[in-house]
Chains A and B, each alone.
Chain A
């Protein structure tokens, strides 16, 4: 008797819960299921794999050996260095370029603004594959290459852009500088448009210089946008892959091997899935640490 009462009341509580919240859970069901199957399970599985030596027929547990191997591997450290150089060489540079371009565009009349926005945004809609193919042609080492032809006008000898360690990574960075600020410009312009005019007028009354206005008003108010571009930029560039894969295969002499490419190489050239998983966890931890640091130091006044 007592049990029926208890069960009835709990079942009606359950019914009420379903009535109140059932829809909400149903609405998030698809993403949650996909998350469980295609993110959570693979992450756990990768973690386990990173302690194993993978073989399709005979996988063995080897403890921390994969992690030991990778920290003793010169190529791993080289790829780490390349990734950091690439990130430092592209993200801040791109933010500065983006900011300057946006600042200039902001001074323009509306119709000109649209023209420049559209032009600078265009390369962003072209795929990584397309851009890589085109840039391979531009960097052609012989005098057919567009850049070498341009240098030839000034009597400079052809440069083997992608074929020598000294210029290969730089070439990938240069390509990145010239075509990835479309989205940033639009965000900056939107943010600049959101700065109240009255702030500048007040500054004008105080005879503030252009620099002061910039340093005291424009820059601080654009900080959220800058932080957003910084965080997303760092995460993206830590994972740079397609251009490396299509243009240099990580060469020459590992000069352009980034971590993402190294993981690919370990997994799909040497089929050492265990070591590749270990490498990918090191990458994940790096990304998380760097992201957290950026938020801690820069985000005091940013709300997400």
Chain B
């Protein structure tokens, strides 16, 4: 009887202990001096990236069988947070897919790559691309592609309203021109619902950031750290948005629309233009059309048009761009120089010529000569979209965070989260006027940014 009880207690303990072995935490193998494991956290960069990655790793292992590459596919929705948590606990993966970020460098765990970069690697990068993964002149990442944010439109709706989208792709458009076109694009549909000219979401900063860039403000701060969002330029931008909502060109429930809903409305033909798109949408929407043809999905087929973001009448057009690729990290329990070298080997293997398929699939500008070579004339997007993307890349606006010192970049991030975003939500909901918001930006800017 007594034994039985002890047995049970022991069994319970055993259960707890065995579950402790649920997952191997990686690390180095015990035997063999050169064995090493490199942990990679990445994303489904493009549709078939998971397969591409397996191939890249397999190729790498032919040359370096002693290095195990452990990959983890994160989801776009939660991955950034998972990574931030791991980083701030002092235990980031060796390699992570993202744009370089001052807050990463700030932890002291980002690994500068300059000592590992050979001249050969440097020469392979196209001019201006390596700089997109540097902070304070130090290389923290190897770019895989240059991203490009634009607007996207439903060709049928544009043409029904008589909008010359080809000319817009080539020459851009001003806020006045856009407002005039928006009036033509907005109408009541037969089923009683409204077709809007433009839809954006009320939860993120992309929309206002893209518009302010097109009104002479590179970001909340410029690259010298000067506060930008405190004068007429921001007021004009806010007024422009307020006008679009009050005229009914954008839905008045914008504040409660999330990115998901925004896509929904675009697919359902409830809006002519979606406020954030990338050239890859062309490919995605082509695939969606195929699904509709195959009967897997029902709905209206859409022809996609990539559109530049309109600029204020007296300001130059700017395209929001940057680079994404692999970044290297060390851990709080540093695994040493040998390991760091291995990490770089893996990093280069995941960023080489064959990895150019990501830029190719996404219809984005290549970053390496070898990649451009390998994927020449293999693009998947329509020629129109490729041309438009190329045209827009001429007006590139560099991310200011690459030039800002880290503390300033952190302040800017805080300003965006704690002041800018809440005020944008208030603007969308009609709770605050552009004047009041400009005033608040200005006073909060003094408080938080000291200027």
List residues of A whose CB falls within 8 A of some B CB.
54-58, 75, 139, 141-143, 158, 160-166, 249, 251-254, 268-271, 273
Are B422 and A253 in contact, with the CB atoms below 8 A?
yes
Q: Which of B109, B203, B253, B422 has the most CB atoms of chain A within a 10 A radius of its CB?
A: B253
Q: A251-B422, A253-B422, A270-B414 are in contact. Are A165 and B332 (CB under 8 A)?
A: no
Which of A56, A58, A139, A143 is in CB contact (< 8 Å) with B87?
Answer: A56
- With both beta carbons as reference points, the residue of chain A lying nearest to B90 in the complex is identified as A56
Contact with A along B52-86 (1 / 0, CB 8 A): 00000000000000000000000000000100110
Are B425 and A163 in contact, with the CB atoms below 8 A?
yes
The 4 closest A-B pairs by CB, nearest first: A163-B256, A252-B425, A163-B255, A141-B253
- Residues in A with CB closer than 8 Å to B414 are 270
Q: A142-B253, A160-B256 are in contact. Are A55 and B107 (CB under 8 A)?
A: yes
* B287 interface hit (Cβ, 8 Å): no
- With both beta carbons as reference points, the residue of chain B lying nearest to A72 in the complex is identified as B447
- With both beta carbons as reference points, the residue of chain B lying nearest to A163 in the complex is identified as B256
Q: A56-B87, A56-B88, A57-B90 are in contact. Are A163 and B422 (CB under 8 A)?
A: no
Binds A, one of B364-372, B391-399, B426-434: B426-434
B172-225 contacts to A, CB under 8 A, are: 193, 202-203
| B16 smallest CB distance to A (angstroms) | 10
In the assembled complex, the Cα of A198 lies from the Cα of B150 at a distance in Å of 78
Q: Which of B414, B423, B429 has the most CB atoms of chain A within a 10 A radius of its CB?
A: B429
| A267 smallest CB distance to B (angstroms) | 9
| A149 smallest CB distance to B (angstroms) | 13
* B418 interface hit (Cβ, 8 Å): yes
- With both beta carbons as reference points, the residue of chain B lying nearest to A57 in the complex is identified as B108
List residues of B whose CB falls within 8 A of some A CB.
81, 84-85, 87-90, 103, 106-109, 193, 202-203, 251-257, 332, 414, 417-418, 421-423, 425-426, 428-431
Listed A/B pairs (25) with beta-carbon separation below 8 Å: A54-B88, A55-B107, A55-B108, A56-B89, A56-B107, A57-B90, A141-B256, A143-B193, A160-B429, A162-B256, A163-B253, A164-B256, A165-B429, A165-B431, A251-B421, A251-B425, A252-B429, A253-B423, A253-B426, A254-B422, A268-B81, A268-B84, A270-B417, A271-B88, A271-B103
Which of B202, B332, B418 is in CB contact (< 8 Å) with A57?
Answer: B332
Q: Which of B81, B251, B418, B422 has the most CB atoms of chain A within a 10 A radius of its CB?
A: B422
Given A251-B203, A253-B425, 13 additional A-B pairs, CB 8 A: A56-B87, A56-B109, A75-B418, A141-B257, A142-B251, A160-B255, A161-B256, A163-B202, A163-B429, A252-B202, A252-B422, A252-B429, A268-B84
- With both beta carbons as reference points, the residue of chain A lying nearest to B254 in the complex is identified as A163
| A155 smallest CB distance to B (angstroms) | 14
- With both beta carbons as reference points, the residue of chain B lying nearest to A269 in the complex is identified as B417
| A25 smallest CB distance to B (angstroms) | 15
Are A252 and B426 in contact, with the CB atoms below 8 A?
yes
- Residues in B with CB closer than 8 Å to A252 are 202, 255, 422, 425-426, 428-429
The prevalent SS among residues of A at the interface is loop
Q: Which of B202, B255, B430 has the most CB atoms of chain A within a 10 A radius of its CB?
A: B255
| B375 smallest CB distance to A (angstroms) | 38
In the assembled complex, the Cα of A58 lies from the Cα of B90 at a distance in Å of 11
Are B429 and A164 in contact, with the CB atoms below 8 A?
yes
Are A58 and B257 in contact, with the CB atoms below 8 A?
no
Q: How many A-B residue pairs have CB under 8 A?
A: 82
| A116 smallest CB distance to B (angstroms) | 35
In the assembled complex, the Cα of A139 lies from the Cα of B253 at a distance in Å of 12
Q: A161-B256, A252-B255 are in contact. Are A57 and B109 (CB under 8 A)?
A: yes
| B198 smallest CB distance to A (angstroms) | 16
| A22 smallest CB distance to B (angstroms) | 14
In the assembled complex, the Cα of A57 lies from the Cα of B87 at a distance in Å of 10
- With both beta carbons as reference points, the residue of chain B lying nearest to A162 in the complex is identified as B256
- Residues in B with CB closer than 8 Å to A158 are 253
Are A249 and B423 in contact, with the CB atoms below 8 A?
no
- Residues in B with CB closer than 8 Å to A57 are 90, 107-109, 332
- Residues in A with CB closer than 8 Å to B332 are 56-57
Are B431 and A253 in contact, with the CB atoms below 8 A?
yes
Q: A160-B429, A165-B431, A269-B417 are in contact. Are A58 and B108 (CB under 8 A)?
A: yes
| A191 smallest CB distance to B (angstroms) | 36
- With both beta carbons as reference points, the residue of chain A lying nearest to B253 in the complex is identified as A141
- With both beta carbons as reference points, the residue of chain A lying nearest to B423 in the complex is identified as A253
Are B84 and A271 in contact, with the CB atoms below 8 A?
yes
- Residues in B with CB closer than 8 Å to A166 are 431
- Residues in B with CB closer than 8 Å to A271 are 84, 88, 103
In the assembled complex, the Cα of A125 lies from the Cα of B207 at a distance in Å of 40
- Residues in A with CB closer than 8 Å to B431 are 164-166, 253
- Residues in A with CB closer than 8 Å to B251 are 142
In the assembled complex, the Cα of A164 lies from the Cα of B257 at a distance in Å of 11
Q: A56-B88, A252-B255 are in contact. Are A163 and B428 (CB under 8 A)?
A: yes
| B354 smallest CB distance to A (angstroms) | 34
In the assembled complex, the Cα of A163 lies from the Cα of B88 at a distance in Å of 32
- Residues in A with CB closer than 8 Å to B90 are 56-57
| B418 smallest CB distance to A (angstroms) | 6
| A193 smallest CB distance to B (angstroms) | 37
| B176 smallest CB distance to A (angstroms) | 29
- Residues in B with CB closer than 8 Å to A54 are 88
| A49 smallest CB distance to B (angstroms) | 13
- With both beta carbons as reference points, the residue of chain A lying nearest to B85 in the complex is identified as A268
Are A160 and B425 in contact, with the CB atoms below 8 A?
no
In the assembled complex, the Cα of A20 lies from the Cα of B227 at a distance in Å of 73
- With both beta carbons as reference points, the residue of chain A lying nearest to B417 in the complex is identified as A269
In the assembled complex, the Cα of A164 lies from the Cα of B425 at a distance in Å of 8
- Residues in B with CB closer than 8 Å to A269 are 417
In the assembled complex, the Cα of A142 lies from the Cα of B423 at a distance in Å of 22
Are A160 and B417 in contact, with the CB atoms below 8 A?
no
| B193 smallest CB distance to A (angstroms) | 8
- Residues in B with CB closer than 8 Å to A58 are 108
- With both beta carbons as reference points, the residue of chain A lying nearest to B255 in the complex is identified as A163
| A137 smallest CB distance to B (angstroms) | 11
- With both beta carbons as reference points, the residue of chain A lying nearest to B431 in the complex is identified as A165
- With both beta carbons as reference points, the residue of chain A lying nearest to B332 in the complex is identified as A56
- With both beta carbons as reference points, the residue of chain A lying nearest to B202 in the complex is identified as A163
